[in-house]
Amino acid sequence: MEGVISTSQIKDITRLERTGAHSHIKGLGLDDKLQITPGSGGMVGQVKARKAAGVILKMIKQGKIAGRAILMAGAPGTGKTAIAMALAQELGNDVPFTTISASEVYSLEISKTEVLTQAFRRSIGIRIKEETELIEGEVVEVQIDRNVTGIGPKVGKLTLKTTDMETIYDLGTKMIDGLNKEKVIAGDVIQIDKATGRITKLGRSFSRARDFDATGSEVKFVSCPEGELQVRKEIVHTVSLHEIDVINSRQQGFLALFSGDTGEIKPEVRDQINMKVAEWREEGKATIVPGVLFIDEIHMLDMECYSFLNRALESNLAPVVIMASNRGLSNIRGTNYKSPHGMPIDLLDRLSIISTMSYSQDEIEQILKIRAIEEEVDLSADACMILTKVAMETSLRYAINLISTGYLVAQKRKSNVVSVEDIKRVYSLFLDEKRSVQYLQEYQAEFMFNTPLNAQADDNNMVLDS
Ligand SMILES: Nc1ncnc2c1ncn2[C@@H]1O[C@H](COP(=O)(O)OP(=O)(O)OP(=O)(O)O)[C@@H](O)[C@H]1O
Ligand SMILES: [Mg+2]
């Protein structure tokens, strides 16, 4: 009976939720006055950097400043990406947040500057206001006249009322079909879009609340509208500049938004759109919502990209750009120049730099506990202590990886709690970076193309001295 899946199996599959490296991060964990509120947001320690991120958040929310750039610099595993993710969670749905890794700019199909431009424009939202005319009222009566033969156009009458007035509207075939589709009956409060004729049911009128209960629990009761039957309503959409670009740049229009295959967008198209948006802004039809562009591993960019950034940051349609790097004094990609964080000095000069510090033992323990909860793993107190020690000696990431592997080992011996033994077992199964290097050194003769470590130490200045 292969290929037949029992329902219990299906349930197991749908219940499976994936946990990413930062899924325990829910926010910065700051209050209005930028003070740390312990235990909220899933973040631990790193107080200065979080507060700095809080200031940036306020700046972004005010939406006044364009083209600021921030660099988060710190050793690997000190929470740079985590803080950026926390910031994204705090921004809310309306403010665009784009995240790219600097290595994404190298593509065969489109140029580096085009990738960066698209990322910039994805991070700028345009809030567009539209006014529509609606008819809103409670249905008093729907009357549909049918031809005896059943053929020919349908006609009818719809009586709508508000608390102040009542009007009878003539109905054509299209409207009758619309009413039938929505199953509109007397006592419903409905909304009709005058431009498109679309009918929306808002709910049932309170005056019908005592109608004998044939109504299901999902029925919403609303009050009968007041005032005029015809109302003007403002509808607000937020789209990104990039979306407007794509829709206007190609024959297939918005479909390219889904495939992501947008190709290069002509500068003329962008110029026109910028002009149009400026026009809308003057007429009060649209407002600009500057968002955030997060470029992780910024040291992967090269000279051309850096000089493009210098220029792009000065445009008045630039988002707040946050960059992260774990490099110390190192080569700028593609050159022999050494520079702090592997970035040219002129760009560094434009940035506000936030540095992230290494964690204390307490903080590491807390992070590991939060991760264990997120991964739904029960760690015994001893195991947690040992894991903290491991993290201090190796790295936080390595220790985090041992949580779920440790759980698998615990399950193998039919226990739901991860004990010290399980941690020891996975610690011996999986090497951390230091032990791996040691192993390489011991057995170097057996590997191919091996260069002794001290020979390459000079240009391997990758990571900040902590
Ligand atoms: N303050 C913190 N509170 C909670 N979790 C944290 C904190 N800092 C880091 N983490 C978690 O530790 C792990 C490593 O952190 P992260 O990926 O942010 O490091 P990073 O600074 O971006 O390192 P790299 O330079 O290697 O990219 C992640 O799973 C992250 O969610
Ligand atoms: Mg990172």
pLDDT at 217: 62
Cα separation, 243 vs 254, whole angstroms: 8
Give the model's pLDDT for residue 331: 92
Cα 79 to ligand 2 centre (Å): 7
CA distances from 89 to 26, 290, 308, 319, 405 (A): 6, 16, 28, 17, 28
Q: What is the pLDDT of residues 212-255, one digit of tens each?
A: 555 566 678 888 898 888 988 888 888 999 988 888 876 556 66
Report the pLDDT value the prediction gives residue 16, as an integer from 0 to 100.
47
- Minimum CA distance residue for ligand 1 atom 8: 79
Q: In which element (H, E) is residue 81 found?
A: helix 80-91
The answer to whether the CB of 228 falls within 8 A of the CB of 164 is yes
Distances from the Cα of 435 to the Cα of 168, 423, 456, angstroms: 84, 16, 19
Which atom of ligand 1 approaches the CA of 45 most closely? 1
- At residue 444, the pLDDT reads 82
Residue 114 CA to ligand 1 center (angstroms) comes to 30
Cβ–Cβ < 8 Å for 202, 184: no
State the closest ligand 1 atom to the C-alpha of 46, by its place in the atom list counted from 1.
1
In the reported structure, the alpha carbon of residue 342 is separated from the centroid of ligand 2 by a whole-number distance in angstroms of 16
- Rounded CA gap, 283 and 300, in Å? 42
How far does the centroid of ligand 2 lie from the alpha carbon of residue 78, in Å? 8
Element (H, E) at 236: strand 230-240
Q: Which atom belonging to ligand 1 lies closest to the Cα atom of 84?
A: 18
Question: Which ligand 1 atom sits closest to the C-alpha of 42?
Answer: 4
Q: How far is the CA of 82 from the centre of ligand 1 (A)?
A: 5
CA–CA dist 84, 69 (Å, integer): 13
- The answer, yes or no, to whether any atom of ligand 1 lies below 6 A from the CB of 332, is no
Q: How far is the CA of 297 from the centre of ligand 2 (A)?
A: 7
Ligand 1, atom 6, residue with closest C-alpha: 79
C-alpha 240, offset from chain centre: 14
CA of 217 to the centre of ligand 1 (A): 46
Q: Which of 30, 36, 51, 396 to mutate to test the pocket of ligand 1 (most atoms within 8 A of CB)?
A: 396
Ligand 1 nearest-atom number relative to CA 296: 27
**Which residue of 46, 367, 371, 402 sits with most ligand 1 atoms within 8 Å of its CB, as the best mutation to test the pocket?**
367
- pLDDT recorded at residue 254: 60
Q: pTM above 0.85?
A: no
- Give the pLDDT of residue 269: 87
Residue 215 is predicted with a pLDDT of 58
Residues of the chain with pLDDT under 70: 1-17, 150, 210-218, 250-261, 453-466
> What are the structure tokens assigned to 67, written together?
């083209």
Q: Where are the alpha helices (H) located in 349-466, listed in sequence order? A: 361-374, 381-393, 396-412, 420-429, 433-442
Work out whether strand 417-418 and strand 166-171 pair parallel, antiparallel, or are unpaired. Answer: unpaired
Helix (H) / strand (E) containing 160: strand 155-161
Q: Which of 80, 371, 398, 433 to mutate to test the pocket of ligand 1 (most atoms within 8 A of CB)?
A: 80
Domains of the chain: 47-123+291-356 (3.40.50.300), 129-236 (2.40.50.360), 359-430 (1.10.8.60)
Least distant ligand from the CA of 397: 1
Query: How would you classify the pairing of strands 69-74 and 351-356?
Result: parallel
